[in-house]
Chains A and B, each alone.
Chain A
Amino acid sequence: GIQVEQSPPDLILQEGANSTLRCNFSDSVNNLQWFHQNPWGQLINLFYIPSGTKQNGRLSATTVATERYSLLYISSSQTTDSGVYFCAVESDKLIFGTGTRLQVFP
């Protein structure tokens, strides 16, 4: 089946810093989503982005499907950005990566 690798596994930032999270996948996919799991455990959709670039406020994402990777950019990070960020890809079922744990300190 499809393998999904996320990097880095852990990231510690000070408020105001920028960061880039990466998701590599091993085969062609027809769906790619980014989720944020907040410290209370809730999974929140950030982007549906099987290809191209999208932006939503301080967050943006780019997927290069031909090269099998996606990037999530967080600019001017805030403490509320803390949590785990998951990439999930789908060919016939949604497969999750193991996540990047982000901690943002004041």
Chain B
Amino acid sequence: DAGITQSPRHKVTETGTPVTLRCHQTENHRYMYWYRQDPGHGLRLIHYSYGVKDTDKGEVSDGYSVSRSKTEDFLLTLESATSSQTSVYFCAISEIWKTKNIQYFGAGTRLSVL
């Protein structure tokens, strides 16, 4: 599993509340990613990080923010959760070897916004 831990694994929250998901890695990888998975869409990139305090937007970043204050932790925050953010969220890291950029995924967080 490339040493990736996501927490919590499941969360139910109400519309309008803030939510923070955590991704923790143990192998000092530079690149970390947050994806969401929805039926009919596969996985879509929300935000990614290429180093401490270095982040950028992905395909579906509206309504989400991220922070990376330490190499090992990448946080995804929903400032005011909406029902459209009900999804399964996956964190990933990149293992880069020569020119290969291979992504490995955490176990996922299932979020329900009621």
Contacts and interface: CB of A to CB of B under 8 A. Distances in A.
Interface of A: 4, 30-31, 33, 35, 41-43, 45, 48, 86, 88, 90, 93-94, 96-99
A45 B102 contact: yes
Given A41-B88, A48-B102, A93-B58, A98 B44 contact: no
A73 B98 CA distance: 27
B33 to A, nearest CB: 8
Contact of A86 (B43, B102, B108): B43
A97 B43 CA distance: 8
22 contacts: A4-B42, A31-B101, A41-B88, A41-B108, A42-B105, A42-B108, A43-B90, A43-B105, A45-B104, A48-B100, A88-B43, A90-B101, A93-B45, A94-B33, A94-B45, A94-B103, A96-B42, A96-B43, A96-B44, A97-B42, A98-B41, A98-B42
A94 B42 CA distance: 12
Q: Is the interface of A mostly helix, strand, loop or mixed?
A: strand
B107 interface: yes
A35 B43 CA distance: 11
Nearest to B41: A98
Contact of A33 (B40, B44, B102): B102
Given A41-B107, A98-B41, 12 more contacts: A4-B42, A30-B99, A33-B102, A35-B105, A41-B108, A42-B105, A42-B107, A42-B108, A43-B90, A86-B43, A96-B43, A98-B42
Interface in B14-72: 33, 40-45, 48, 58-59
B19 to A, nearest CB: 19
A54 B88 CA distance: 31
A10 to B, nearest CB: 13
